[in-house]
Amino acid sequence: MKIPLEDSYTDIIGKTLRGLRREGIANPKTDEEIRAVAKSLGLSPEGLVASARQKWYPLEQESLEGFLCFSTPFEDATVNSYLIFDPASGEAAAFDTGTDCSGILQSGFKVRQIFITHIHSDHIMELDRLMEKTGAKAWVNAREPIDGAEIFTDGTSFQIGKLHVETRRTSGHAKGGTTFYVTGLRKPVAIVGDALFAGSMGGGMVSFEEALKTTREGILTLPDETIIASGHGPLTTVGEEKRHNPFFAK
């Protein structure tokens, strides 16, 4: 079953209006009206029309050895957490916890590290349990420290066995927002938290302008084939978001 896109076109318009601190507008109905609103808000007209007409969904990603996704319930939607492991050694790391870390615990892999993209409750709800059950060390960005987790600064690198993990600043939705860029598998993977969704982005709860800037610089400069693993919604790729995301498509 396909995971639904996180945002509708009205969600996209609403996030942009809030970010630009502009008053609400009547929801556009026709394609011409949607394009006009998109242009006035600095969004991609064709990207917003495709969202409104539900004409775009990211291509399904083939199974990738070393990469697992877990989707757990959160309010009326779901939240994603991830497990990445070195196929050669079996050494693994968890990325966020979702609302239930049972899938990670039952995966059979030895989790030695837990990486947190940001500290909103749905992403760290099971952190204490996951740390207790695995004995793993948790890492969080120094811009938003939490009890029990070690801090790192932007640009710090880690290893998962022979896999390389680069940290990239993608703040704006959250003060400490971080993207973890993992290389060494058959395809590179960027675990982005709520900085970017398939066809949308997280709301600029700290700064809309900062969210746009750091996502462009921290995520969309990665190779087009990079798998984007978001905090909500389906997997996508850098190339698809550059072509279809209303916030970033040209």
What lies within 8 Å, CB to CB, of 97 at 6+ separation is: 81, 104, 114, 123, 124, 125, 126, 127, 129, 130
Percent of all residues in the chain with a pLDDT value above 70, rounded to a whole number: 100
pLDDT tens digits for range 13-26: 999 999 999 988 88
Report the mean per-residue pLDDT for the chain.
97
Q: Which H helix or E strand runs over 91?
A: strand 91-95
Number of residues in the chain? 250
**Of 171, 168, 225, the residue nearest 201 (C-alpha):** 171
- Out of 3.40.50.740, 1.10.3720.10, 3.20.20.70, 3.60.15.10, the CATH code matching 67-244 is 3.60.15.10
pLDDT (0 to 100) of residue 43: 98
Question: What pLDDT does 147 receive?
Answer: 96
End-to-end CA distance of the chain: 31
- Percent of the chain scoring above 90 in pLDDT: 96
- With a cut of 80, say whether residue 1 has pLDDT above it: no
Q: What is the pLDDT of residue 25?
A: 83
SS3 state of residue 191:
strand
Taking only the tens place, the pLDDT of each residue in 141-175 is: 999 999 999 999 999 999 999 999 999 999 999 99
- Cα-Cα-Cα-Cα torsion 114, 229, 226, 45, nearest 10 degrees, comes to -150
Distances (CA, A) of 70 to 41, 56, 186: 34, 23, 20
Q: Classify residue 199 as exposed, middle or buried by CB count within 10 Å of its CB (0-12, 13-18, 19+).
A: buried
What is the pLDDT at residue 24?
Answer: 84
What does the alpha-carbon distance between residue 219 and residue 112 come to, in Å, rounded to a whole number? Answer: 26
Q: Where do the structural domains in the chain lie, given as residue ranges?
A: 67-244
Q: What angle do CA 86, 80, 6 make, to 5 degrees?
A: 135
In terms of DSSP bridges, do strands 77-85 and 67-74 run parallel, antiparallel, or are they unpaired?
antiparallel
Q: What is the pLDDT of residues 62-93, one digit of tens each?
A: 999 999 999 999 988 899 999 999 999 999 99
Per-residue pLDDT at 112: 97
Q: What is the pLDDT of residue 26?
A: 81
What pLDDT digit, counting tens, does each position of 121-138 carry?
999 999 999 999 999 999
